[in-house]
Amino acid sequence: MRRASITGWGRCTPEPVLTNEDLASVMDTSDEWITSRSGIKERRVSHTDNSDMATVAGAHALAAAGLEAADIDYVILATCTPDRQIPAAACYVQAKLGTVNAAAVDLNAGCTGFIYGLSMAQGLIATGAADRILLIGSERITPYLDFEERSTAVLFGDGAGAVVLEAAKGDEGVLSMTVGSDGSLAGVLTAEGVGTSFVGNEVPMRIIMDGREVFRNAVTQMGESAALALKEAELDFEDVDVLIPHQANLRILDATARRLDLDESKVYTNIVRYGNTSAASIPIALSEAIEEGKVSPGGNVLFVAFGAGLTWGASVVRWGDRVEALGVSDAKLPPTDRTGLELVLELMEKKRVSA
């Protein structure tokens, strides 16, 4: 069976930064509370569409793989915050990148989107239905935040990450894959305001979350999924070089590592700088982990995630020989002179006026 191997990686993190102090200036919270309960110090706010971030991340991943846009035969965009409901945001990315030979599709599995995308890419490559896939996780989640709901608004941020997957030439690539869902728990993490449920009942866009219930399920499912993915790969925790988890909350990551009896030094985290970027968090973390030398040639990388649905999943990927990018791209977002706080204040004002 052909295995999908990661040959390119990249990210796009918008420049406007929103700090905990900024949030404390618009709602009843504090840097101390946010840091101690989540590990987050700041997050990014996008001034432009989701597909713009996805395109920039995708361009970097293509360059790192040494490929042209026309080489890609499938674009999978994992997101729950697309530019529009119709068409798929992946189609905008396809046009902006010029992946003229590619199919394009969005995938919504909440924060587990990247892992679900990886499982689909593995399937497409295994069957020969695709040879070179661009898998992007990208979220512009800030417009969905209710800045009057402090327990959710402080957790999320915007950004995009991407990988290129190609058929492995050696024994590298996706060694195992496990994904699952429980739709009976859909209500514990949901969004209002967009979708047919709101026809005739217009309400502002906003995320609603039962934080404690999500936390409880996250720790259990992240631990079980990671253990299952390792078992299927016939590996032990000592064989893992680095765990790249969905960056939901530092306390969830610590609890997961403890549950797995995994040395904390093997767990990659960057939540302190980006918050929870949903489906973008794993590919952003992966591209930073590679640049920081945390991924070694031939090493085993364990991915695990959990999110709205509820959904969960994990995968073990054996890295190939190369941890250096083959090329670089100068793709970047259009400049902005607005700060993260200014962008949030604009959003709050628009929501106030339309309410």
Nearest distance in Å: CB 211, ligand UT7: 3
Q: Which of 108, 249, 276, 300 is catalytic?
A: 276
Using CB positions, name the residue nearest to ligand UT7. Answer: 211
Nearest distance in Å: CB 8, ligand UT7: 26
Show the tokens assigned to 52. Answer: 């713009």
Nearest distance in Å: CB 67, ligand UT7: 31
Q: Which of 111, 217, 249, 300 is catalytic?
A: 111
Q: Which of 60, 108, 246, 300 is catalytic?
A: 246
Residue whose C-alpha is closest to residue 158's, from 146, 141, 180: 141
Nearest distance in Å: CB 345, ligand UT7: 18
- Output 214 or 280, the one with its CB closest to ligand UT7: 214
- Output 91 or 218, the one with its CB closest to ligand UT7: 218
101 is catalytic: no
Rounded Cα distance, 327 and 334, in Å? 22
- Output 150 or 266, the one with its CB closest to ligand UT7: 150
Show the tokens assigned to 207. Answer: 């995320």
Nearest distance in Å: CB 329, ligand UT7: 29
- Output 161 or 173, the one with its CB closest to ligand UT7: 161
- Output 97 or 257, the one with its CB closest to ligand UT7: 257
Provide CB contacts within 8 A for 84, sequence distance 6+. none
Nearest distance in Å: CB 208, ligand UT7: 11
Rounded Cα distance, 286 and 245, in Å? 9
201 is catalytic: no
- Output 130 or 209, the one with its CB closest to ligand UT7: 209
60 is catalytic: no
Binding site for ligand UT7 (CB under 6 A): 29, 33-34, 37-38, 111, 150-151, 154, 209, 211-212, 214-215, 218, 248-249, 252, 276, 307
Rounded Cα distance, 246 and 262, in Å? 16
Rounded Cα distance, 29 and 23, in Å? 7
Catalytically annotated residues: 111, 246, 276
